[in-house]
Amino acid sequence: MNTESIAVAEMDAREPSQRLIYRHTLPIRIMHWINVIALSLMLFSGLQIFNAHPSLYWGNRSDKGKELLTLGARQDSAGHLVGTTRIGSHVFTTTGVLGVSKGSDGTPEVRGFPSWLTVPGPAWLAMGRRWHFFFAWVFVLNGLCYVGYSLARRHLQRDLWPTRTDWRGIGHSILDHIRFKHPHGEEALRYNILQRLAYLTVIFVFGVGIVLMGLAMSPRMDAVLSPLVEAVGGRQSARTIHFIIAWAFVAFVLIHVFEVLISGVFNQLRGMITGYYKVDTGKVDIVKPDETISAEERSHD
């Protein structure tokens, strides 16, 4: 027996318990990666725009002294620039990252967010706005396509909307997440209750909210949206909420990527790139896309 046949034998021993499932359809995969690009560039260009006036307020006016948050700078006794982050009346020194950071020429400069987090890198508001509004359209159109497709294919109703059983398992699901325990086998194919709630919140609260708050900052749209603008407290409130939701998206992405990393990164990536996801139980066979769908449809009819 040579080494090759040993390897085959070992695989044979393992293979029967694994199955490739066609999990993510091509449109979902394409829209997912478009969203990755759009969200990243919206964040980077959004921080460039924020840097033009790195303060947040509540209400309709930007009154001096009423800032909720300010990324600022001062000089210390030696004349060096010190970056500061002021939240309410609390001031933190954040030199190097917020308030003061190295510019493209390597010398410290006064700027809200650092150049490695803004598009464009240097202070360039006009270009930042071009990027932001271009990818805002990509984000919105991609999002509408996603919701339309998911409704039509019942992805939203079937995979994301929580069932009564899902709700009952919420305590269990929270414990599993805290313990970093991930379901294997068939169970891994279903989104658990926390995933469902997270995805629904991100799509319908964060996604819809950030677009509406963006529109609420547009003076032309405010001619028709002023009830919404006033309902959230004013244009500056809308700007503040827009900023907070942007960071909520970042928090979601960090958790999402973390979960992907600890639940089998290669399998998850393959799932979102090729569509095929491997589960541990079942017999050796590759379920073809159309077979999966017809099987799913049968089970729901």
26-42 burial, b at 16+ Cβ within 10 Å, e below that, comes to eebbebeebbeebbebb
Spatial CA neighbour of 19 closest among 283, 274, 264: 283
**226 binding another protein? (CB under 8 A):** yes
Amino acid at 84: T
Q: Which of 17, 40, 75, 294 touches another protein (CB under 8 A)?
A: 40
Class of residue 287 by CB neighbours under 10 A (exposed 0-12, middle 13-18, buried 19+): middle
- Amino acid at the residue 61: R
Q: Which of 130, 158, 177, 190 binds another protein (CB under 8 A)?
A: 130
Our finding on whether 117 is near another protein (CB under 8 A) is yes
- Phi and psi at 232, nearest 5°, equal -90, 0
Do the Cβ atoms of 72 and 99 come closer than 8 Å?
yes
Shortest reach from residue 95's CB to another protein, in Å: 16
| Distance in angstroms (rounded) separating the CA atoms of residues 253 and 32 | 12
Q: Which of 14, 53, 168, 181 binds another protein (CB under 8 A)?
A: 53
111, 128 contact by CB (below 8 A) = no
119 in contact with another protein (CB under 8 A): yes
Asked if 108 touches another protein (CB under 8 A), the answer is: no
Residue whose CB is less far from another protein, 79 or 227: 227
CB nearer to another protein: pick between 238 and 279: 238
Q: Is 258 in the site for another protein (CB under 8 A)?
A: no
222 contacts another protein (rule: CB under 8 A): yes
SS3 93: strand
Q: In this chain, which of 25, 35, 62, 274 binds another protein, going by CB under 8 A?
A: 62
Instruction: Check residue 35 for interaction with another protein (CB under 8 A).
Output: no
Task: Look at strands 108-111 and 19-22 and give their pairing.
Answer: unpaired
* Residue 146 binds another protein, judged by CB under 8 A: no
Sole window of 5-13, 36-44, 68-76, 288-296 interacting with another protein (rule: CB under 8 A):
36-44
- In the complex, what is the shortest distance from the CB of residue 69 to another protein, in angstroms, rounded to a whole number? 12
Spatial separation of the C-alpha atoms in residues 253 and 190, rounded to whole Å: 20
Residue 72 sits at φ, ψ, to 5 deg, of -130, -170
103 touches another protein (CB under 8 A): no
Footprint on this chain of another protein (rule: CB under 8 A)? 40-41, 44, 49-50, 52-53, 55, 57, 60-64, 115-122, 124-127, 129-131, 133-134, 136-137, 217-226, 229-230, 234-236, 239
